[in-house]
Amino acid sequence: MNTDIAVLNSCFGIDDQVVFKTISEHFSIVEIDNAHASASISLQGAHLMSWVPKGGEPVIWMSQEASFESGKPIRGGIPVCWPWFGDHSANSSLPAHGFARTALWEVIQTEALKDDTTLIAFRLIQEGGNHDGWPYSAELEIHFIIGDSLKIDLVTRNTGKSAITVGDALHTYFAVSDVRNITINGLDGCPYLDKVDGSEQKKQQVGDVQFDQETDRIYLESTEDCVIDDPGLKRRIRISKLNSESTIVWNPWIEKSERMGDLGKDGYLNMVCVESANAADDVVLIAPGEKHHLWVRYSVE
């Protein structure tokens, strides 16, 4: 896999629209800028770090204290959780949310599309046995279309000889004016596992989700659009998705964010995670040779 910046720019750069650069030793990113939006994505984890529609505010939150070190998860942006969500079911000493988000992905495609949006795609090849906790073979690709909406397609292809079970998520940190003043709708009536209360199964009462404490919920049977209503920024962020049965809603609030140490002072106030996933009992079974697409579209209204 080639990570030489000059080679990447020669093979995949697009004048003034797609440019590869390093931001620290062994940490390379790609910056995208087109008529509709700008974005940046790290090659580690194929991790989108920013997306700003032209003339708008950043939609994706990044911690002021985020570290950009090889092999270390980035706090903010869109971490790719794969091939498991949360703790590994059999070995909690393995990295939370799997290994894809700290692996180095290869760039496989860039294209300036006819509607002046930009497509960029990355791949991670997993050979059976080269990661603890997941002795299977698969190819993972992520395709981004950067425009005044953000479309993401996370594709798992089973390249092995036996069926595989995959938990996956786009663990997206959305930027908000003040988490105490936003609401999230689209989860009415959904059952959820309350990770702040021993993962007890509860049911979302009719009405929007609001925040006044640490919130960490895995909503199940949640396939509808979610909308983050943010009066402070006078905007609504719509989260549409396909092939995702779970939605995780997370804000660490005060104590947990102080314990985590990398959200920045009061950083928790300006973020909320709404994660399109297949987690807990919603994990997906993929037969040999088959593919699974987890697809989302983020748009600002």
Residues near ligand TA6, by CB under 6 A: 73, 86, 96-97, 171, 195, 216, 248, 250, 273, 275
Comparison of 8 and 193: residue with beta carbon closer to ligand TA6: 193
Comparison of 146 and 154: residue with beta carbon closer to ligand TA6: 154
CA 110 to CA 120: how far, in whole Å?
4
Shortest gap between Cβ of 163 and ligand TA6 (angstroms)? 26
Shortest gap between Cβ of 56 and ligand TA6 (angstroms)? 26
Could you tell me which residues are beta bridge partners of residue 41? 30, 48
Q: Provide Rg for the chain, Cα atoms.
A: 18
Residue 252 CB neighbours (<10 A): 18
Comparison of 20 and 99: residue with beta carbon closer to ligand TA6: 99
Residues 79, 45 contacting (CB under 8 angstroms)? yes
Residue-wise over 71-95: b if at least 16 C-beta within 10 A, else e?
A: eebbbbbbbbbbbbbbebeeeeebb
Q: How would DSSP label each residue in 202-259?
A: EE--SS-B--SS-EEEEESS--S-EEEEEGGGTEEEEEEEES--EEEEEE-HHHHHHH
Comparison of 6 and 96: residue with beta carbon closer to ligand TA6: 96
Shortest gap between Cβ of 229 and ligand TA6 (angstroms)? 21
**Active-site residue set:** 171, 275
Both tokens assigned to 293: 């697409």
Comparison of 28 and 172: residue with beta carbon closer to ligand TA6: 172
Q: With 0-12 CB in 10 A as exposed, 13-18 as middle and 19+ as buried, what is 192?
A: buried
Give which of 243, 240, 192 is closest to 215, Cα–Cα: 192
Shortest gap between Cβ of 182 and ligand TA6 (angstroms)? 17
Residues 193, 218 contacting (CB under 8 angstroms)? yes
Shortest gap between Cβ of 96 and ligand TA6 (angstroms)? 4
Distances (CA, A) of 8 to 119, 255, 295: 15, 42, 26
Comparison of 195 and 293: residue with beta carbon closer to ligand TA6: 195
Shortest gap between Cβ of 217 and ligand TA6 (angstroms)? 9
